[in-house]
A and B are shown apart, each in its own frame.
Chain A
Amino acid sequence: MLKFLFLFIFPLSIIQVEPQLFFRIKTDFMIKAKSSTGEQRLTVGKIFYDKNIKQIVYDVSFPEKEIWIQRDTILYKIINSKVIGKQRIPAGIEFSIYNLVLNGNLNDYGLKKTKFTIRKVEKNDSSVISTWEPPLEFKKYFGDILLSIVDQRLNGIVFKNNAGEIVSRQFFRNYKKVNGLSFPQEIYRENYVNGQKDIELTTFTNILVNDLSGENKYDFKIPAN
Chain B
Amino acid sequence: MKKLFVSVFLVFFAGFTILANDADLFKLDLNAVRAEFTELNQLASMVTTNADLTYSSLQLTNSNLVTSLRLVPESVLPDGTKNPVLGIPSFLWGCAFGVVGMAVVYIVTNQNMDETKKSLWGCLTWTAVVVVLDLVWWGALVHV
Tell me whether chain A's interface is mostly helix, strand or loop, or mixed.
Answer: strand
Partner of B26, one of A65, A127, A193, A199: A127
Inter-chain contact A32/B74, CB cutoff 8 Å? no
* Interchain CB contact under 8 A, B75 and A167: no
Interface range, A side? 35 or more
Among A33-41, A175-183, A207-215, A216-224, which stretch is in contact with chain B?
A33-41
Per-residue contact bits, chain A 21-56, to B (CB 8 Å; 1 contact, 0 not): 000000001111110001111111001000000001
Q: Among the listed B41, B47, B75, which residue makes an inter-chain contact with A66, where contact means beta carbons less than 8 Å apart?
A: B75
Q: How far is the CA of A39 from the CA of B69 in the complex (A)?
A: 7
Complex: A156 Cα to B82 Cα, angstroms: 20
* Interface assignment of A80: CB less than 8 Å from any CB of chain B: no
Query: Is B16's CB under 8 angstroms from A195's CB?
Result: yes
State which size class the interface on B falls in. Answer: 35 or more
Whether B71 pairs with A122 at a CB distance below 8 angstroms is no
Chain B 79-101 interface residues, beta-carbon cutoff 8 Å to A: 79-89, 91-92
**Are B83 and A44 in contact, CB atoms less than 8 angstroms apart?**
no
Which of the segments B104-112, B126-134, B135-143 contacts the partner chain?
Answer: B104-112
A residues less than 8 Å from B39 (CB atoms):
40
Decide: A41 and B84 in contact? CB cutoff 8 A: no
Do the beta carbons of B18 and A30 come within 8 Å of each other?
A: no
Contact with B along A150-176 (1 / 0, CB 8 A): 000001101101010111111101000
Q: How far is the CA of A123 from the CA of B95 in the complex (A)?
A: 37
Which of A5-13, A82-90, A110-118 lies at the interface with chain B? A82-90
Of all chain B residues, the one with the shortest Cβ separation from A131 is B22
A residues near B15, Cβ cutoff 8 Å: 194-196
Is A141 part of the binding interface, using a Cβ–Cβ cutoff of 8 Å? Answer: yes
Closest to A77 in B: B75
Known contacts A44-B48, A193-B91; 16 further A-B pairs (Cβ under 8 A): A30-B48, A39-B72, A40-B70, A44-B44, A63-B54, A64-B56, A88-B109, A91-B80, A142-B86, A148-B25, A155-B26, A167-B88, A170-B80, A194-B91, A195-B16, A196-B15
Is A124 a contact partner of B23 (Cβ separation < 8 A)? yes
Do A65 and B91 touch (CB < 8 A)? no
Once bound together, how far apart are the Cα atoms of A166 and B23, in whole Å?
14
Minimum Cβ distance to chain A for residue B46 (Å) = 9
